[in-house]
Amino acid sequence: MTTVVPVEKKVLHENQRIAGELRKRFEEQHVLCLNLISAPGSGKTTLLEKTLNCFQKNEKVALLTGDLQTENDARRLAVYGFPVQQIVTGSVCHLDGKMIERALEKWELAALDLLLIENVGNLVCPSSYDLGEAAKIVLLSVTEGEDKPLKYPSIFVKSDVMVITKIDLLPYVSLNLERMKANARQVHPGIEIIELSCKTGDGLDVWLAWLERRRDSVRERLLCARS
């Protein structure tokens, strides 16, 4: 005799459970955690370098950076003096909650107020794995073409912000920038869009202001909790 037994569980419920615990810890410790996602070569590490370069040395910032192989990114980011850990995934195409949990064992979370996670370069798989972050940020460079939000809608739907990178290259590519933005808004009407160039520095102030706004909201919650 065969019987159908209802289960109704998330397939990735184990990752979801860990991500839920991480999110709770981040909130309790007033740490803003951001998950940066893009295809390889869109400029995640470069944006992080420029961001760290603008921070005061006493900022309580730490970074996790994921790649299939090499410690190159961690070496690039370590120059700025903030704690960095490379997560080498081997052949895994995304970071998952367990990897973040394990990496955080080495740090005192209470000593941080910003944790930046650079995911493995991939527009598909990282969108399925919650890391407990407050927000996902998707980067898309102008050389990648305006149709990517339509081809890979998941990550654009789940990201609070789309950062369009390498805008200094606009004169050299046949990209329709307005079309790219409209495509992102089609799949996610509320998505915020920031355009910048790490090469020229154009638009970096907009990105830093966005980051500060998110950090301010965490600081406000911390002040409320203390008073």
Partner 1 sequence: MHEVGIASEILRVGQIEAARRPGARLIAVSVRIGVLAGVDSDALRFAWEVLSQPTEGVAPRLDIEVVPRRNRCEVCSMEFFSDMLGEDCPACSSRNSRLLGGDELQLASVEVEE
Could you give the strand order of the β-sheet that contains 114-118, starting from the edge strand earlier in sequence?
Answer: 84-88, 61-67, 114-118, 32-37, 135-141, 161-165, 192-195
Among 57, 90, 189, 226, binds partner 1 (CB under 8 A): 189
**Beta-bridge mates of residue 33:** 115
Please identify, among the stretches 49-57, 103-111, 180-188, 193-201, the one whose residues bind partner 1 according to the rule CB under 8 A: 180-188
Contact between 186 and partner 1 per CB under 8 A: yes
Per-residue binder mask for partner 1 (CB under 8 A), 118-147, x = binder? ----x-xx-xx-------------------
74: left (phi over 0), alpha (psi -120 to 50) or beta: alpha
8 near partner 1, judged by CB under 8 A: yes
d(CA 172, CA 176): 12
In whole angstroms, the minimum distance from the beta carbon of 4 to partner 1 comes to 5
Instruction: Rule CB under 8 A: say whether 40 interacts with partner 1.
Output: no
Cα–Cα distance, 64 to 134 (Å, whole number): 15
Q: Is the dihedral of CA 208, 138, 198, 107 positive or negative?
A: positive
Among 6, 56, 58, 69, binds partner 1 (CB under 8 A): 6
Which region among 106-114, 137-145, 186-194, 218-226 touches partner 1 (by CB under 8 A)?
186-194
